[in-house]
A and B are shown apart, each in its own frame.
Chain A
Amino acid sequence: MTLPTQNVIAEPQQLVKMTYREGMRQAIREAILRDERCFLMGADVGRYGGCFAVSKGLFDEFGPEKIRDMPLSESAIAGIGIGACMNGMRPIVEIMTVNFSLLALDQILNTAASYLHMSGGTFNVPVVIRMATGSGRQLGAQHAHSLEGWYAHIPGIKILAPGTVEDMRGMLWPALEDPDPVLIFEQQVMYNMTEMVPATPQPMDIDHAKVRRPGKDVTLITYGSCLPKSMKAAEELAQEDIDTEVIDLRTLRPLDNDTIFGSVAKTHRVLIVEEGWRSGSLAAEISARIMENLFYDLDRPVDRLCSAEIPMPYSKHMEEAAVPQPETIAAAVRKLVQ
């Protein structure tokens, strides 16, 4: 994967306004232009422009060879993508939502994540699979769950969860460069979110969490759509003299222990916020790691704020009530510091 990197210029960056959706669209464009082995495949990604309109316009620009509509079979889509990778291509596989990806779980777990091991290190699977996740758009109990925590359970794959436009724009290329399977979880509620980002893409680190807001009183660990909510809560808490450090995990597997532990060792109090169900959640794993490694640094038990353990409701107010919100996040932090 030695590719031209001339378009990454060292000059001071000009900032442009971009949506989360446009971030991924540009990333796909740039990847296809950069690497001739690269193409997008999935259900309705071509003529229709993608069910969340992420690939809108790309079919006209690149044609059916590069933007490939697939039959509506998640298992087949993932399987073909994996096969293409093993034969030298670099497909970007799109699955509509994480709920549908369960139909492709066999391919993801039994093939993509296991092949390097089963072939004695001979065949790696550099596939990239993107899918939408999370609630917030009234898509009901079959389209709105956050199951990335389940995937983060699987050894052999890397899990990315962009929570900013810049990450959305920048994470795809390093994911394609990774020799092993990478899953990218895009927050469907954030596709319209806009942010100022550098006009040309910057080299992106996908191995570390980021401190999005430094603070000294409490560590708030989160990712994805709970990141902007947590930032909002942190600003509100700052008015009350509660200084919250917000960590964006960015990569859910492997977890960046160093950033998490460094922050907890400083604040001694932790709240983990995520949209997954609480029992057996990613938050549970992070909590366990903190307890295993930093027990003598904790001034309070680690606290978690997760989704209500129910199928995602359709009604707007109930959907909102089921997942963490800035107010509930702020309330949980207040309880931790009182």
Chain B
Amino acid sequence: MSEFKMPSLGADMDAGTLVEWKRKSGDPVKRGDIIAAVETAKGVIEIECFEDGILDEIFFQAGQDVPVGQVLATISSEAEFRQKASTPKVAESVKAPEAAVAEPAKPAAQVVQEAMKAAIAQPSATPATSDRVKISPLARRVAEDLGVDLATVQGTGPGGSIQRSDIERAAQAKKAAPPEPVKAPEPVAARPQEVAPTAPPVERAAPPPVEAKAEPVPEVKKPTDFQSAMRAAIAAAMGKSNREIPHYYMETSIDMTKALAWLEEENAKRTIRDRLLPVVVLLKAVAKSLAEVPELNGFWIDGQHQVSESINIGFAINLRQGGLITPAIHDVDMKSMDELRDAVNDLITRTRSNKLRSSELTDATIVVTSLGDRGVEKVFGVIYPPQVALVGLGKITEQPWAENGTLSVRKVLTATLAGDHRATDGHKGGLFLEALNRNLQEVEKL
């Protein structure tokens, strides 16, 4: 048996709000399966499981705040699960109740918790429908015909909407189940729509003690807006960075004329959908340069410099509603340009629709902030702890360029590096920018 814990989805996270269980007790789970969704200041994150087995005991229900590291559920092997099922339950859930009481919150933690509460206050992109059950007209009709109580049905359609197949499944389950009073699955009872929308907001100083298997108490979340929550989370992380990390900065100008010409030629051969944006080439070049100067790719944890083997670039993505997220693109050095393009497109779409995976939030080994064709020419970044470097790529502009005693106009990119001086020195930083420049002069080799 192993424990499935609330993961830390960023250096600034102390707790998360369980939004829903994607699996229920008794379901088989495989490594990589999404088994729960957790709300943080960064939006709803789907949590993967790292083991094969059976989802056994569940200690928390949707809507509850759970500190990082707290056991959410146990995962048993099939044998263990069967054995347990055959012996009468004596003492269930040993550790959850007491341990779940949150420790006195530090100021920063409180900020983040507030942020998470705020995030919960807007459960979906369509707030107007939050007090309605999303169900197709056909499913509603079939539910009436089959006598299925909609509160017992979990929707599998878009946005959790209930479709005919969900009703039919529920009807079959009802038939199969013994004729005892059917208890509604708890996640449903804790859904936001059960909360009276006009109820006054309840202030809470600290999360209430959480009891295992307790009937969930519908909570009315404090209506704070999402932007300020996101702002608070960024403030916590960046404040920590500037307090603790001694940054050093350097910049270099890179002639992009060749790289852009290559890109143009390459794109002429491709259909619109398959075309490469400059950012793909830049990310690839950064990854290759990091492979040459690996010291910048990693973490500073507990006074130790840890160099990461995989190059997972956190790509800074602005959210339209304000705020910033830097989800990771895994193994950038191993991806082809096409794979990288697809990964970037996919990541931007999912980030903006709040569909990130937990590994994408935690696995970044370095951040690249690229201003694209908008914005300014140089950007000096603040390192995202516990990482040890950040690469800033400005707007590509036409600049006078002196070379071999003549002056010409070139397309120039200013690349900057923010380094953690505890982990590396300027020499390493210089090597990296040099490598980046070199790699961008021979993009065809990337």
Contact = CB atoms under 8 A, between A and B. Distances in A.
Interface of A: 268, 295-300, 317-318, 321
B137 A295 contact: yes
B138 A296 contact: yes
A321 to B, nearest CB: 6
Nearest to B140: A296
A299 B137 CA distance: 6
A296 B164 CA distance: 11
A300 B139 CA distance: 9
A268 B137 CA distance: 10
Given A295-B137, A300-B157, 17 more contacts: A268-B136, A268-B138, A268-B164, A296-B137, A296-B138, A296-B140, A297-B137, A297-B138, A297-B141, A298-B136, A298-B137, A298-B138, A299-B136, A299-B138, A299-B163, A300-B136, A318-B272
Interface string B144-166: 00000000000001000001100
B391 to A, nearest CB: 33
Interface in B270-325: 271-272
A117 B164 CA distance: 47
A298 B137 CA distance: 6
A317 B274 CA distance: 12
Nearest to A315: B272
Interface string B384-407: 000000000000000000000000
B271 to A, nearest CB: 6
Interface in B142-195: 157, 163-164
B139 A299 contact: yes
A321 B138 contact: no
Nearest to B167: A299
A295 B137 CA distance: 6
B187 to A, nearest CB: 22
Contacts of A317: 271-272
Contacts of B139: 299
B272 to A, nearest CB: 6
A297 B141 CA distance: 8
A317 B271 CA distance: 7
A321 B272 contact: yes
Contacts of A298: 136-138
Interface string B117-144: 0000000000000000000111111000
B159 to A, nearest CB: 11
Contacts of B140: 296
A251 B139 CA distance: 32
A180 B141 CA distance: 43
Contacts of A295: 137
A299 B272 CA distance: 34
B292 to A, nearest CB: 38
Contacts of A300: 136, 157, 163
Contacts of A296: 137-138, 140-141
Contacts of A299: 136-139, 163-164
A317 B163 CA distance: 38
Contacts of B138: 268, 296-299
Contacts of B141: 296-297
A297 B138 CA distance: 5
A297 B157 CA distance: 16
Contacts of B272: 317-318, 321
A7 to B, nearest CB: 48
A181 B137 CA distance: 40
27 contacts: A268-B136, A268-B138, A268-B164, A295-B137, A296-B137, A296-B138, A296-B140, A296-B141, A297-B137, A297-B138, A297-B141, A298-B136, A298-B137, A298-B138, A299-B136, A299-B137, A299-B138, A299-B139, A299-B163, A299-B164, A300-B136, A300-B157, A300-B163, A317-B271, A317-B272, A318-B272, A321-B272
A53 to B, nearest CB: 30
A336 B137 CA distance: 15
A119 B138 CA distance: 47
A296 B139 CA distance: 8
A296 B163 CA distance: 12
Contacts of B164: 268, 299
A296 B135 CA distance: 11
Contacts of A268: 136, 138, 164
Q: Which of A295, A299, A300 has the most CB of B within 10 A?
A: A299
A317 to B, nearest CB: 6
A298 B141 CA distance: 10
Interface in B202-221: none
A304 B334 CA distance: 39
A139 B141 CA distance: 49
A268 B136 CA distance: 10
A297 B164 CA distance: 10
A300 to B, nearest CB: 6
A297 B145 CA distance: 13
B436 to A, nearest CB: 33
Contacts of A318: 272
A330 B103 CA distance: 53
Contacts of B157: 300
Nearest to A321: B272
A281 B106 CA distance: 58
A300 B164 CA distance: 10
B80 to A, nearest CB: 34
B138 to A, nearest CB: 4
Interface string B217-261: 000000000000000000000000000000000000000000000
Interface in B24-54: none
A327 to B, nearest CB: 9
The 9 closest A-B pairs by CB, nearest first: A299-B138, A299-B136, A296-B141, A296-B137, A299-B164, A295-B137, A268-B138, A298-B137, A299-B163
A317 B270 CA distance: 10
A210 B272 CA distance: 35
A304 B228 CA distance: 37
Interface in B404-437: none
Residue from B138, B139, B164 having most chain A Cβ neighbours under 10 A: B138
A268 B168 CA distance: 15
Nearest to B141: A296
B256 to A, nearest CB: 26
Contacts of A297: 137-138, 141
A268 B157 CA distance: 14
A321 B271 CA distance: 10
Nearest to B166: A299
A189 to B, nearest CB: 19
B101 to A, nearest CB: 41
Q: Which of A297, A300, A318, A321 has the most CB of B within 10 A?
A: A300
A313 to B, nearest CB: 11
A321 B164 CA distance: 34
